[in-house]
């Protein structure tokens, strides 16, 4: 593994759209998927490719048992959204010398994330001049399963302070530095992830139904 990349997994979401389910204080991170917490599954997929994985969690949020090599940090700004979590993860992840050049960023709610997809995106960043490598699925940019250059940290901090989300980072780059964005088309990923399951995020009860259709029933307390 190369130490030019760090993994940042966001665990602090409030799961507000999973109505009718009592996920408890742990949120989607603790949701059991096929006998393993959702967060653990995502961290394991990222750790198969990236030597250092950082989980950004809400203050006081209980987390499932994770591998010893997973580092945990807490949000510095409660309920400020995923971009603030990315900001905090980048600040923590780049504090070592030498700092990594890239960060693979994922939300904790993509339990079918495949290491091969992580590897493809990281390698695409390494061989391109892009600062943001973003998969496209059904025409939608997957900004929370993507690779970004760590030198975007200052602009991310500005956008996070303004209450913006991760899509704002992409929109700004597309507007002002389009050559810095590398979209990864579905055709580039289908060979390793035929159904693009790596991007099946659990936002709504319907997503849980889709997950179960893949033969992996979720369960919760």
Asked if residue 105 lies in contact with residue 115, where contact means CB atoms within 8 angstroms, the answer is no
Q: What's this model's pTM, rounded to 2 decimal places? A: 0.93
Torsion angle of C-alpha atoms 210, 211, 217, 218, degrees rounded to 10: -110
| Whether pLDDT at 18 is above 80 | no
Query: 219 lies in a domain?
Result: no
Check which CATH number belongs to the domain holding 122 and give it. Answer: 3.90.550.10
Return the pLDDT at 221.
Answer: 44
Average pLDDT over residues 110-120: 96
Backbone dihedral angles phi then psi of residue 126, each to the nearest 5 degrees: -65, -35
- pLDDT, one tens digit per residue, over 178-212 is 999 999 999 999 999 999 999 998 887 788 777 77
Number of structural domains the chain divides into: 1
Query: 220 lies in a domain?
Result: no
Query: 66 lies in a domain?
Result: yes
Domain residues for 183? 5-214
Average pLDDT over residues 16-23: 54
- pLDDT, one tens digit per residue, over 128-170 is 989 999 999 999 999 999 999 999 999 999 999 999 999 999 9
């Amino acid at each position: 593994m190369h130490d030019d990349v760090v993994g940042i997994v966001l665990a602090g979401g409030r799961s507000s759209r999973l109505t009718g389910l009592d996920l408890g204080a742990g949120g989607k991170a603790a949701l059991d998927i096929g006998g393993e917490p959702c967060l653990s599954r995502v961290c394991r997929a990222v750790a198969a490719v990236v030597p250092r994985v950082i989980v950004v969690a809400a203050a006081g949020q209980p987390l499932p048992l994770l591998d010893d090599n997973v580092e945990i940090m807490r949000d510095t700004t409660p309920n400020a959204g995923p971009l603030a979590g990315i900001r905090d993860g980048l600040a923590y992840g780049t504090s070592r010398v030498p700092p990594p050049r890239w960060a693979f960023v994922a939300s904790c709610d993509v339990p079918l994330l495949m290491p091969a997809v992580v590897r493809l995106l990281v390698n695409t960043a390494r061989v391109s001049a892009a600062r943001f490598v973003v998969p496209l699925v059904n025409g939608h940019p997957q900004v929370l399963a993507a690779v970004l250059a760590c030198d975007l940290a200052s602009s991310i901090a500005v956008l996070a302070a303004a209450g913006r989300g991760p899509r704002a980072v992409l929109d700004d780059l597309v507007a002002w530095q389009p050559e810095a964005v590398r979209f990864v088309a579905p055709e580039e990923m289908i060979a390793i992830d035929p159904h693009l399951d790596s991007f099946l995020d659990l936002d709504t009860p319907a997503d849980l139904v889709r997950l179960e259709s893949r033969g992996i029933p979720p369960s919760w307390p």
